Structure 1
Amino acid sequence: MDPGNLSEETIKRLRPPAKGNSITYFAGSTIQGAKAPRGFGVRVTASGARAFILNYRLRGREHRYTIGAWPDWSALKAVREARNLRQRVDRGEDPLKDRAPIPTTKSVSSVIEDFMTRYVRNRERPLRSADQIQSAFDRLVKPRIGRIGAYELRRSHVAEMLDRVEDEAGPVQADRVRAYLRKALSWYAERDDEFNLNAAFVRVGARANPKERARTRVLSDDELRIIWPLLSEAGAFGALLKTLLLTAQRRDEVANMTWAEIGPDGIWTIPAERYKTKRSNHVPLSKAARQVIEAQPKKDRCDYVFPSRTNTAFSGFGKPKARLDKAMQDALQKHGRTVEALPKWTLHDLRRTAKTLMARAGVRPDISERVLGHVIAGVEGTYDRHSYADEKRDALEKLAAMIGRILNPQPTNVEKLGEYRAKVQA
């Protein structure tokens, strides 16, 4: 390293090694008039953590003193401390003997595992979203910052990780990961007086604008005609999305569907413990929905209708959704339309689309609300204990029929029988 080239930006740009750690020495470098003593350097770990160190020899033996982590310690502050330490060494003192023992630290992965075991999957009160939280930690957090020690974790690590999650899975998923990790670290901070939560999370902001998240997106008929054949080629992911639209249920509710939840009468019962309203929801499956579901291959020792490769509930929606978007864009271009003709959409938009299609099919709003599993407010919700099974079945059959008419529109010169009779009678 060129002496004199010491700055915060220089330290930031030091490349982490492939494994272990590496040390870059800055002996003789100056910063704001302060000259770094011999043995002064910056240690960088494979995970990207940086710390200032001082190597020195005393009574024939090499020693290494860790001054502090960057950016908690600025380069100028670390150089000044290193100069004081070097003076003590020159007087024959050993700074390590006077230093309090450094407390052992758990890795971020260890903190997460303890949090999942003791809080998320607590035997007495496990969270309904435990599988979703576990999946987010395993896929998005541990591979990126899991090896970093909890004491060494800094907001720059968290911010960089969330940037990558946002790029791959969108701002909403990044905010979910942020909330999960903050809860885990807050839980750990209550149990370790030495852990500094602010160092890891202060000023790490949310990615999604709440106002922008209040969506009204509904897929158009043309978009449905483009997307449906692509879903038929997308395996379990495509079948899952078809079921989302045909049942008007939420993504994770469909992803966690099991064969045992589907009764011989064709009613899918979503148990209360994994339903958002904490009430079980009974969904009379339409003929079209049953055809999609029954076409899914069954796996040994796996009860999920839409399993992952490891026989768990389907997860990791980001990559297959990105492939689907790309296929939709290609389909648009084949028809001479620009890519910009396809506005961004989310899987939850399918649920909103289903609600809108039921309205077009003549389903009463109160019935479609019950299909969606919403809690009915007021006196009606309190005293009306009718199951509405027949009404919900009729609504979902009308939804399927509406989708069928959209996918296979009649020629413009063909009139519906009811409309023809009305004209004749007139």
Structure 2
Amino acid sequence: MALTDTALKALKPKDKAYTVADERGLFVEVFPTGGIVWRYRYRVDGRREKLTLGKYPALTLKNARLKRDEAAQAAAMSKSPAKQKQLAKRAAADATTVSEFGERFFREIVAKDRQDITIPRRYFDKAIVPAIGAKPVRDVTTEDVRAIIWKKKDEGFDAAAGSIRGVLKRLFDYAMTAGLIFVNPVLALPMRHVHKTKSRERALSPDEVRVFLKAAFESNIRRQFKIGLHLILLTMVRKSELLLARWEHVDFEQAEWHIPAEHSKTGKPHIVFLSRQSIALFKELQALAGGSALVLPGRGSLTKPFAHNAINTALKVALAGQPIPAFTVHDLRRTASTLLHENGWASDVVEKALNHTIGGVRGVYNRAEYEPQRREMLQFWADYIDQLMTTGQVVLGRFKQVA
């Protein structure tokens, strides 16, 4: 008995998948999940075959019958509809460009693996797409990816080259999973030949902190970067957390900065308790933000933050010619941790302020937020930096402003 629209709408899932016939080989398969798929059974030169036509209700009863009739005509001429479908799918896959597949990769893989896709997305858009974005995935060679990676190495950014290599490897791994390619072209370039990650131990001494902050405020970098570097040191936050901060998350009355889960590396919300000095710096940033919802709106835009590496570049400019070894923005967090531990603050309080996940049994059972201790510690830390910077008439945060 032929199916009707009413009968299709009445189909309900069962514990096991089952089929319901229409006519002339057409039928639907109903899955325990509730999904319904159209299929067609036929013969080609005596061989039995089965073709999947599409999902109901996206493919209606009327259109499913039309697709069945088209397949039946091909089978009558000894042409396999199933094989034709495979060839068409393969042709479409062969034509898929890196840009097109990259969108699928970020949607189906990257966005599910991490809260913040900003950095891999930037590497993809800025380094990969301009070089091979228009090229079909199946045509990308090891030389293509080598050129992208080594261009970044030749610019002196070995760590960034390693990150780009990582994005490329994962993208082409997924292309293999999707059946677009059979060999990953990145595998011929081992990571150890691109960049070897070193465990960082750099923490600034008190004298180096003094030199760094004085150099930053007296340099010609943007005022927002001077304040931003100062705030990262005082609040112990990650650079990305400051770059993504919005004014709706800063509570001046409660002296709190709420970092939402989507901006936090741990994937959990975090509260930063603000010292008097930090509040003053935030208020100056608010005046510089020009009405933007972002704490640090980017150059020429009130709706987009600065690029992820902009503050890194500003730090390099500020430190040029200074008598201290190079360090990264992230090293400021290690500096704060080191000096606070040396001043007798409890490790759990420091780790909580850093928004670190405490490991082991203690991490499982210790759910304390340490709010009073963290408030006291961060005020102590800001006062400590103030005292550290007071040399004669030079006081932190009141250096001459350079345009």
Tell me if TM exceeds 0.5.
yes
1:47 alignment counterpart: none
The partner residue of 1:366 within 312, 332, 348 is: 348
Equivalent-residue separation in structure 2 for 1:320 and 1:274 (angstroms): 17
Verify: 1:289 aligned to 2:278, yes or no: yes
Partner of 1:226: 211
Equivalent positions of 1:17-416 (< 5 A) are 103=91, 104-121=94-111, 125=112, 127-168=114-155, 170-191=157-178, 193-198=179-184, 200-206=185-191, 207-210=194-197, 213-232=198-217, 233-235=220-222, 236-263=224-251, 264-296=253-285, 297-300=288-291, 302-309=292-299, 310=301, 311-317=303-309, 321-322=312-313, 324-330=315-321, 332=322, 341-409=323-391
Secondary structure of the 2:258 match is strand
Structure 2-normalised TM-score? 0.65
Greater length-normalized contact order (CA 8 Å, ≥ 6 residues apart) = 2
SS at match of 2:327: coil
Determine the structure 2 residue equivalent to 1:18. none
Partner of 2:72: none
CA displacement at 1:350 relative to structure 2: 0.8
Report if the CA contact (8 A) 1:256-1:313 is conserved.
Answer: yes
* Cα distance, 1:231 vs structure 2: 3.1
Q: Shift of the alpha carbon at 1:216?
A: 0.7
Corresponding residue number in structure 1 for 2:13:
none
SS at match of 1:240: helix
Q: Following the alignment from structure 2 to structure 1, what is the Cα–Cα distance between the partners of residues 352 and 325?
A: 29
Following the alignment from structure 2 to structure 1, what is the Cα–Cα distance between the partners of residues 388 and 146?
44
- Are the structure 2 counterparts of residues 249 and 108 from structure 1 closer, same or farther at C-alpha, using a change threshold of 3 Å? same
How has the CA–CA distance of structure 1 residues 320 and 248 changed in structure 2, closer, same or farther, with 3 Å as cutoff? closer
Aligned-partner residue type, residue 243 of structure 2: A
Give the superposition deviation at 1:119. 3.4
Find the residue that maps to 2:138 and give its secondary structure.
coil
Secondary structure, counterpart of 1:151 in structure 2:
helix
Task: Give 2:30's aligned residue.
Answer: none
In 2, Cα distance between equivalents of 1:141 and 1:239 = 33
Return the alpha-carbon distance in structure 2 between the equivalents of residues 380 and 306 of structure 1: 36
The residue number in structure 2 matching 1:57 is none
Structure 2: which amino acid aligns with 1:251? K
In structure 2, the CA distance between the partners of 1:279 and 1:359, relative to structure 1 (3 Å rule), is: same
Quick check: 2:246–2:294 contact (8 Å CA) kept in 1? yes
Calculate the aligned-residue CA RMSD, in Å.
Answer: 2.8
The alpha-carbon deviation at position 188 of structure 1 amounts to 2.5
Cα 1:240–1:147, aligned 2, differ >3 Å: closer, same or farther?
A: farther
Structure 1 residues 314 and 385 mapped into 2: Cα distance closer, same or farther (>3 Å)? same
TM-score between the two structures when normalised by the length of structure 1: 0.62
Q: Deviations over 1:358-388 (max 9, x none)?
A: 2244322221111112223455434444331
1:134-187 Cα offsets, whole Å, 9 max, x none, are 222222222233233322211222122112223446322222222122212222
Deviations 1:204-227 (A, max 9, x none): 1223223xx211101233432332
Partner-residue secondary structure (3-state), 1:268 = strand
Decide whether aligned partners of structure 1 residues 216 and 410 sit closer, same or farther in structure 2, where only a CA change above 3 A counts: farther
SS of 2:358's equivalent in the other structure is: coil
Between the aligned residues of both structures, percent identity stands at: 26
TM-superposed CA distance for 1:275, in Å, is 2.1
- Cα contact 2:169–2:187 (8 A) shared by 1: no
| Structure 2 gaps, min length 5 | 1-86, 394-403
1:27-68 Cα deviation digits (max 9, x unpaired) = xxxxxxxxxxxxxxxxxxxxxxxxxxxxxxxxxxxxxxxxxx
Q: Count matched residues.
A: 294
